Amino acid sequence: MAYLDAVETRFDYDPEARFPFNLALFATHEVVRFDTPVTFFVGDNGAGKSTLLEAIAASLGLPALTQVGLAQHPLMQAARALAKKLTLIRRTPRKHGFFFRADDVLGFVQSLRRMADEHRELEAHYDQTLTGEAHRRATGMARTQHEAIAARYGDDPFARPHGELFLELFRQRLTAPGLYLMDEPETPLSPINQVALLALIMDKVEDGSQFIVATHSPILMALPGATILDFDQAPPQAIAWDEVEHVAVTKAFLNSPESFLRHL
């Protein structure tokens, strides 16, 4: 199911303007379309793929994975400014979805730990200060809240390998058909965990979800039927998997690492 059909800009391009309005991808008013359930944004750092993804998320009001929402996130000023200049063409109102950025997960896990610690402290406090029915209810409420966090994310999320934690967060949050935006989700994942994420995305597409993903991962880009938009071109153009520069360089290196190392 498609929730978002396309996005177009509503400002005149000026290469002397402030970031992000001076990005080359805005040199034309051509519409960026989402014709398949999964669309990958690819290209070099600085091409604008993450900035556009963030602006779409801000325009849609998608919740972030962290406790800091997109409306207050300190790194989202440019995206929020750009969001005001975008027109989104939507097909179906989305009821579920989120915006994921790898850099935010550490803060999210820290907030989980703080909540778990607070619930434990409350339980100990009630145990010392209350008696009778009030004691039973208050300690039971604090214990239930702590157990709910532990059941969903583990008793100590920091004790788990980062790749395993990221995958579990995805599994817990991809709960219903919706629109999911991800910025470089492969960052903490080993190749085998990237394959696991690829399989998870494929399963959720079958359930009716739509994904827009900014990535450098040739593994994720290989998802069957996905559209790959190359942001090294202005405006971004759809290209085949084996035409992506990251794919070509990775394949060439794996085929002959000695030749690359000699140049180094």
- Report whether 129 contacts 90 (CB < 8 A): no
Whether residue 99 is found in the same domain as residue 111: no
Give the pLDDT confidence of 65-110 residue by residue, as tens digits: 654 445 455 557 888 889 999 999 988 777 789 898 876 666 666 6
Question: Does some domain include residue 94?
Answer: yes
Whether residue 184 is found in the same domain as residue 95: yes
Whether residue 40 is found in the same domain as residue 113: no
Whether residue 78 is found in the same domain as residue 200: yes
Question: Does some domain include residue 165?
Answer: no
- Report whether 86 contacts 59 (CB < 8 A): yes
Domain that holds residue 118: 107-158
**pLDDT at site 71:** 47
Whether residue 183 is found in the same domain as residue 93: yes
Asked, as a colleague might, if the bond just before 235 is cis with ω within 30 of 0, I would say yes
Q: What is the CATH number of the domain that holds 231?
A: 3.40.50.300
Whether residue 39 is found in the same domain as residue 92: yes
Whether residue 188 is found in the same domain as residue 87: yes
pLDDT at 241 over 90: yes
Question: Does some domain include residue 166?
Answer: no
Give dist(CA 41, CA 49) in Å, integer: 6
**Stretch (H or E) spanning 118:** helix 105-129
Give dist(CA 124, CA 122) in Å, integer: 5
Total domains in the chain come to 2
Structure-model confidence comparison of residues 101 and 200, the more confident one: 200
Question: Does some domain include residue 195?
Answer: yes
Give the pLDDT confidence of 4-48 residue by residue, as tens digits: 999 998 888 888 888 889 988 888 877 899 999 999 999 998 889
Give the pLDDT confidence of 133-175 residue by residue, as tens digits: 777 877 778 777 767 766 666 666 555 666 677 788 888 888 8
Question: Does some domain include residue 97?
Answer: yes
Whether residue 18 is found in the same domain as residue 126: no
Whole-model pTM over 0.95: no
